[in-house]
Amino acid sequence: MLQIQENLIRLSREIGREERRLAILGEGNTSATLDDGTFLVKASGSSLSTMEAGDLTRVRMDVAMAALDDSTLGDSGVRTVLESSRVDPSSKLPSVETFLHAICLSEGGAKWVGHCHAESVLSILATPHGANPFLKHIFPDAIVVCGRHLAVVPYIDPGLELAREARRSLRAFMDTHGAAPKVILLENHGPVALGASDKEVLNILLMLDKWARILVNTLSMGGPRFLPESVSDRIESRPDEHYRRAQIAQAQ
Ligand SMILES: [Zn+2]
């Protein structure tokens, strides 16, 4: 657990670096599974950039998941669930997005999750276009790092309702594509990266940030020229791109 905790602190601080403009103040949250029915998640109100061990709360997966199916829970009920989900009752209250992380770490198959409010990505998600500009690709590396397809969740109240909507989106995505996405875009909110490693989560968020900035930049030159679907499919399936993807995920 200590190594995972250490790596999660490092990942959180990387996402929270001020110059990256991915998250400020208490924005964003991170998590990692401990593969024993529990996971570590950022405590409510703590800052990614100054993350310390005490800002991570170990949560029981079954308690968080049970709340998703309990339609009777109001705001006070949600708080009670968050309190009772803690393995150590003296630890800080976990983030209200704990339920979203539980979904990504269970049904989404992720080992590590990072969510932020990237200025660049929000500059698109908060327009009338919503997530649509991300549904077609404009350059190969975004396909390699962020995946051929991204899942989308329309704006919804953060917390339990958002997690339920994310679960619906995730299930529909997996029915269509046969695998979980690497990215869930929350419209008017921000991206969620689902990774097999802490490094992959950071790679996804940095590539998504670059992708968003390029999309916005293209508007001054006539708008994006999207890659044809067949080209994007080809990049996704090329053996050398699979190799490259594995190399990128391992590089430190
Ligand atoms: Zn958020």
Distance 98 CA to ligand 1 centre (A): 11
DSSP 27: -
Distance 174 CA to ligand 1 centre (A): 23
Structural domains of the chain, count? 1
Distance 79 CA to ligand 1 centre (A): 17
Please give the residue range of the domain that contains residue 178.
2-250
Distance 243 CA to ligand 1 centre (A): 33
For 183-211, what is the mean pLDDT?
98
Backbone torsion region of residue 122, taken as left when φ is above 0, otherwise alpha when ψ lies between -120 and 50, otherwise beta: alpha
- Please give the angle made by the CA atoms of 201, 203 and 208, to the nearest 5 degrees: 100
Q: Could you read off the pLDDT of 61-78 as tens digits, one per residue?
A: 999 999 999 888 888 889
Distance 84 CA to ligand 1 centre (A): 22
Distance 149 CA to ligand 1 centre (A): 21
Distance CA 89, CA 108 (A): 27
In this prediction, residue 252 carries a pLDDT of 56
Distance 222 CA to ligand 1 centre (A): 32
pTM equals: 0.94
Distance 92 CA to ligand 1 centre (A): 18
Distance 103 CA to ligand 1 centre (A): 15
Distance 242 CA to ligand 1 centre (A): 31
Distance 235 CA to ligand 1 centre (A): 31
In this prediction, residue 251 carries a pLDDT of 67
Distance 27 CA to ligand 1 centre (A): 6
Q: What is the CATH number of the domain that holds 150?
A: 3.40.225.10
Distance 71 CA to ligand 1 centre (A): 22
Q: Which helix (H) or strand (E) holds 214?
A: helix 198-218
Rg of the chain over Cα atoms, rounded to whole angstroms, equals: 18
Which of 17-26, 103-112, 165-174, 239-248 is predicted with the least confidence, judged by mean pLDDT? 239-248
Residue 206 has pLDDT above 70, yes or no: yes
Distance 126 CA to ligand 1 centre (A): 13
